[in-house]
Chain A
């Protein structure tokens, strides 16, 4: 299944090559036109029957958060720094894979028996070390370079009501884009399905897509944080699993276009797709980048609620995943989404 294959590929920001290759092979026969730009974005275009200059840009990002090797210890361990937003507290006691050959490593942590005052100190980047079993720096240097990427080791699991794995943010979005591209019926306008790079380190890839064409408007499909657990007051939950795709109206750096928001809500109601409004307005998506690039592209956003994002053990609801896919497909085929841009 697409989601499983995509989530299991290792592709942190700047290292999306394998994700892109996989997607390229997968959509080869489906798109009328396939391009890759200099920064690594992949765009699959489905030509419209009668575009008259109108096009829709649908977007998901290929990159996930990860780590990068930045130094060696004398005893052969590695120091690492985050690529994207990784909380160091999710790292102790986890298995990772290092470099292009995905060599195994573990992020060890001092045994509890040996801790004193440091029992109450949280893990910090300066203390996080990857153990690969080399006893000495020289041996490690033969197999690992500074700059090598380190990814979470996180096999995908399908469970009765949930999917468990890494990188639902935003391979979930990528998988749904592929699904929409495959299943969509012909429409008048061009639809560009853009799989972009480096969202996690500051929305760095998406703007370059606009060098190729100027779409009428955009729709971003993301994995977004849930927070629906007993440690957070209900009033502060962002999204709740099983309540359907989460719709964004305000986020970091952008108030999503009000006309597009109305069409998204209307479409969900029309097709009886359950949905929820996002409960928090923090965090940004590529919509914030597109609105600020060249002449500006207005955008809307739909999101797959995802627990424990940016960690090795992320959880999403099967129902939510399917319903987000349904909503995406309905929107891609809804010409109202572009028509509201006029007048």
Chain B
């Protein structure tokens, strides 16, 4: 079930600002296991299950529904497309990659009038020197198929490679799948659990800055991918291994997790013999930063899934990390002793 859900969600093209299709799919997956749902003004999908306890705490779990992508800024005289990134898309990962705008796939290529210029463009890639070829025969042909202002994403598939799952948008559909599984497993829960499938995280943590304002949760836990340090000569200053458990984030560029959340995640993991790691990420940020400063403040933190090749068309996670994250969060939401 988990794998199928993840496969379905990662296949959908839904970059920041265009999350509706994946939110619809998420709602379908949640049918029968939630008490209600709504869309807030900026488009966050908020779902909930009421707690059965006498003094239920409100726990918010966040997975962002948007993925990174591209937007068409210009269609040139011959029908080639110029694009800008939606979120952090390194132009290097685009070279030779297939992307998709609506029903139309396109290949990304770099400019280079001479070998020297091409070489320079490889060394210092930017959106100024790349374009997308959708096989249009003319400008008019292209304009009949796509339009300026249209959003698109990578083209990719879902692969199972040993214990690994590989596809585009594990960031952050893996979190959406995790939250769906937690809701599926919620029996008579003491606490009220909110699932926020937030929008526009990749362009600047927009959705999470406002989603909790009217919810007033007691705590908020963002679930997102993090980097890895277990492939050849990768970041020597970090320690993040696939298959060693989900990671309890201490710090990234956007926030320092609340001690309360770190302690809660750690103690729950230990009590239930769930493997975990501590995480210090040297770059990047998650939605926890948005929740932390909502209104009068919400104790917030992040539980991360180690991931290789983040923001590429082929993001890789370890199956057991995802399963352990589900186990851990299911136990966390069931606790009221904090």
Contact = CB atoms under 8 A, between A and B. Distances in A.
A contacting B, Cβ–Cβ less than 8 Å: yes
B17 A296 contact: no
A296 B196 CA distance: 15
B42 A291 contact: yes
B71 to A, nearest CB: 5
B96 interface: no
Main secondary structure on A side of the interface with B: loop
Given A296-B209, A341-B41, A233 B84 contact: no
A235 B86 contact: no
A294 B17 CA distance: 19
A291 B206 contact: yes
Contact of B128 (A236, A254, A288): A236
A298 B41 CA distance: 6
A255 B40 contact: no
A258 interface: yes
B82 interface: yes
Contacts of A236: 128
B209 A292 contact: yes
Contact of B213 (A255, A281, A288, A294): A294
Contacts of A341: 41
Interface majority SS (helix, strand, loop, mixed), chain B? loop
The number of chain A residues touching the other chain, given as a range, is 20 to 34
Interface magnitude class on chain B? 20 to 34
B203 A254 contact: yes
Interface in B176-228: 200, 203-207, 209-211, 213-214
Contacts of B213: 294-296
B149 A249 contact: yes
A256 interface: yes
Given A233-B128, A281-B84, A258 B76 contact: no
A178 B290 CA distance: 35
Interface in A278-296: 278-282, 288, 291-296
A281 B43 contact: no
Nearest to B214: A295
Nearest to B293: A292
A278 B72 CA distance: 10
B121 interface: no
B18 interface: yes
B82 A235 contact: yes
B148 A277 contact: yes
B74 interface: yes
A27 interface: no
24 contacts: A217-B41, A235-B128, A247-B149, A249-B17, A249-B71, A249-B149, A250-B151, A250-B203, A253-B206, A255-B16, A255-B151, A255-B203, A257-B17, A281-B71, A291-B200, A292-B204, A292-B205, A292-B290, A293-B210, A294-B213, A295-B210, A296-B40, A296-B206, A296-B211
Interface of B: 16-18, 40-44, 71, 73-74, 76, 82, 84-86, 128, 148-149, 151, 200, 203-207, 209-211, 213-214, 290, 295
Interface of A: 217, 233, 235-236, 247, 249-250, 252-258, 261, 277-282, 288, 291-298, 341
Nearest 8 A/B pairs, CB to CB? A255-B17, A296-B210, A296-B42, A292-B209, A253-B204, A249-B149, A281-B84, A277-B148
